[in-house]
Amino acid sequence: MYNSDTPVRAELPSSRQLVRSTILAAVSAAVLLVAVVLPAEYGIDPTGIGRVLRMTEMGDIKQQLAAEAAADAAAAATAAPAPASASAKAAGPTLGMASANASQPTASAASKVQWRDETPFTLTPGEGIEIKLKMAAGGKVPYSWAVEGGSVNFDTHGDAPGKSVSYEKGRGVSSDEGVLTAEFTGNHGWFWRNRGQADVKVILRTRGDYTDITKVK
C-alpha cells in the first residue's frame, strides 16, 4: 500500500548519538552567539574575534543608532523643545578629553591655527559617518569641527582589541573643539549623524599625535 520503506532499528540513531548531536548543536550555537551575534548586534566582543572580523564596529553603530532613537523619542515625549540657542552637549564622561566649553570654534579662529589635516564631508538626513585616528596611549590631538547648515549628534570614542571608551557625546551640536587624549593605543575619533531634515556640511580639523586618519561610512 505504501511505497516508502520503513527503516529498520539498526538504521535509526541511538540515544547516545542523539545526545551527542544535541550537545554539538548547543556548543555550535553558543560559539556563534559569542563570536558573531554579540559583536555584530550589541558591540560586545569577549573573544576579540568580532573586532578582527570588523563585526564589533557594526554592533557599536547599531547601539549608537538605538540610543539616538531612544533619546529622540524621549525628547519628543517630554515638554516643548527648548529654543535652538539652548542646544547643548549631553552630559557624559570626559575622561581623556579637554574640551573648550567656554567658547565655540568659529571659522575665522580655526583658520588661524596651523592644522595638519582638514577633512570636510557632507551628511544627508539620517546619514552617519565615522573618522578614526591611529594614536598611541597618551597621545594628544587638538581638534576643531564645525557644521554648516544645521547641527549633528556626535560620539567621541576610542577602540582597540578588547578595549573601548566613550569620551563625550552630544545631540544637536553645531561645533566643538578641544584636545583628544588617547587612553590606550588604538583608534580614536568621532561618529557624527545628521538627524535634521536637510544636508549639512561638517569640517574637521586636526593636528598632533596620530599616524593615520580614516573615514568610515
Per-residue pLDDT of 37-58, as tens digits, reads 776 677 777 777 766 666 666 6
Q: Which pLDDT score, from 0 to 100, does residue 99 have?
A: 43
**Going edge to edge, which strands form the sheet with 140-148?**
97-99, 175-181, 140-148, 200-206, 117-123
**pLDDT on residue 9:** 58
Using CA atoms, how far apart are residues 146 and 184, in angstroms rounded to an integer?
A: 27
Residue 116 has pLDDT above 90, yes or no: yes
3-state helix, strand, coil in the chain (%, to 5): 30, 35, 35
The architecture that CATH gives domain 90-216 is Sandwich (2.60)
pLDDT at position 141 over 90: yes
If one compares 168 and 44, the residue with the highest pLDDT of the two is: 168
197 in helix, strand or coil?
coil
What local confidence, expressed as pLDDT, does residue 24 receive?
Answer: 85
Domain with CATH 2.60.120.680 in the chain: 90-216
Angle (CA) 142-176-183 rounded to 5° is 45
Q: Sorting pLDDT into bands at 50, 70 and 90, what band is 18?
A: confident
**Beta-carbon contacts of residue 95 (< 8 Å; ≥ 6 apart):** 165, 167, 183
